[in-house]
Structure 1
Amino acid sequence: MNLMSDYGFLGWIIIGALAGIIAKAIMPGRDPGGCIVTILLGVAGALLAGFIGNAVGWYRQGEGAGFIAAILGAIVILFIYRLIANRRT
């Protein structure tokens, strides 16, 4: 079931928040931001997962990523952020 494309703006916010919270729970650590950054992390993870899924043929054109893919995308973004942040310190 493809949650990201079936719901509107509010659905993106709710699913983004859940995906961001789960990603931060899987990769605990000190990250900046609060609720808004967590929501943006989840939404960006879903967009990244949808882009990669379209590129490799997992999703059809215009089809968004599912919830699990959104979490995985958020984990990838969080991992990349931490690599960059650790390099600067």
Structure 2
Amino acid sequence: MSVIQIAVFLLIGALAGWLAGVVMKGRGYGVVVNIVIGVIGAFFGGWLLPKFGLRFGGEIGLFITAFIGAVILVAIARVLRKA
């Protein structure tokens, strides 16, 4: 993986994490946490979505996958925080 690919992956993860924070809580969590949520969401979404027959390609597909995974992670975190 090249440096540019890693930078694009982190940028997409940051945007997906920020958007998930906005959608799920009304605000983001900060740049570093947004990147972490988005990157973990990308891996989680990449693992979970194919199990339901969903696959997206390209950078837009990576963003959609990361966003869906990040939203699920934020939802899980909110449920666990309340418990």
State the Cα distance separating 1:26 from its structure 2 match.
0.5
Question: Which residue of the other structure, out of 66, 83, 87, is the alignment partner of 2:79?
Answer: 83
Q: Which residue of 2 aligns with 1:68?
A: 64
Please say which structure displays the higher CA radius of gyration: 1
Q: How many pairs align?
A: 78
Q: What letter is aligned with 2:21?
A: K
Say whether the 8 Å CA contact 2:21–2:27 is kept in structure 1. no
Q: Does 1:18 align with 2:15?
A: yes
Q: Which residue does the alignment assign to 1:8?
A: 5
RMSD of the alignment, in Å? 2.7
Deviation of 1:56 (Å)? 3.6
Greater Cα offset, 51-60 or 20-29? 51-60
Using the aligned pairs only, state the percent identity. Answer: 33
CA distance in 2, matches of 1:14, 1:27: 20
What 5-or-longer segments of structure 1 have no aligned partner?
A: 1-6
Task: Name the one with the larger helix percent.
Answer: 2
How far apart in 2 are the matches of 1:53 and 1:30? 25
Provide the TM-score with structure 2 as the length reference. 0.75
> Which segments of 5 or more consecutive residues in structure 2 lack a partner in the other structure?
none
Q: Distance in 2 between matches of 1:21 and 1:29?
A: 10
Structure 1 SS opposite 2:25: coil
Greater CA drift, 15-24 or 65-74: 65-74
